[in-house]
Amino acid sequence: MAKVVIYKETLVDFNEHVWTFIGSFIGIGLIGLLQSLYLPISDNLFLVGSFGATSVLIYGVINSPLAQPRNVIGGHLICATVGVLLNLLIPIPWLAGALAVSSSIVLMQVTKTLHPPGGATALIAIIGSEKIKNLGLLYIVTPIGSGIVILLLVAFVFNNITANRSYPRNKSWYKFWKRNYLGKN
């Protein structure tokens, strides 16, 4: 029984591993490459720790409700905003951090944009380096906004290359875009 639960329940086929690796490598790699082109290594601002966890979801468990674009975008942006605002308002890091994570979770629940890495995005705005903290509201736009755009664009491409993978789960956005912007039915 343990062998079935531990091994077979978590078994993913080899092709899934390959596409997961390629997608996450390209997504994180692009963010890192862009960072290296514009900033010295000591100014590591574009690569945020929560993007690693987002990559696990959007490349590794693409059908999870927590991995869908609405959740990724909304979760990160809500949490970044909460983190920045509480960092500006509360000078006690442990208190600001606890409030940021807790408030972010509730706001994501209320807005139906629950994305677990968002909690880290809120916390990073408070406990991150001085360079991160000094970004203030710009933290929401870059690295967070620009990073999630890159990760999602890569996910749209690599998670739809094969017939076995389909991302996002609900393609109504694609049908809308195709109908309204490409003029196709």
Q: What is the largest CA-CA distance in the chain?
A: 55
9 in any annotated domain: yes
Instruction: In whole angstroms, give the CA distance from residue 49 to residue 120.
Output: 7
Closest by alpha carbon to 119, among 92, 80, 149?
Answer: 80
Predicted pLDDT of residue 27: 92
Is residue 173 assigned to a domain? no
Cis, bond preceding 168 (omega within 30 deg of 0): yes
> Torsions phi, psi of 90, nearest 5?
-120, 115
Whether 178 is covered by a domain: the verdict is: no
In eight-state DSSP terms, residue 67 is G
Q: What is the pLDDT along the chain (185 residues), one digit of tens a residue?
A: 666 555 555 556 778 888 889 999 999 999 988 888 876 665 667 889 999 999 999 999 999 999 999 999 999 999 999 999 999 999 999 999 999 999 999 999 999 999 999 999 999 999 998 889 999 999 999 899 999 999 999 999 999 988 888 899 876 655 665 566 666 55
Q: Tell me whether residue 107 is in a domain.
A: yes
Within a domain: residue 182? no
Q: Please, which residues have CB within 8 angstroms of residue 140's CB and are 6 or more apart in sequence?
A: 77, 80, 81, 84
Domain annotation covers residue 185? no
Domain count within the chain: 1
Q: Could you read off the pLDDT of 93-115 as tens digits, one per residue?
A: 999 999 999 999 999 999 999 99
Would residue 183 count as lying in a domain? no
Q: Which domain covers residue 80, as residue numbers?
A: 2-163
In-domain check, residue 82: yes
Give this prediction's pTM. Answer: 0.84
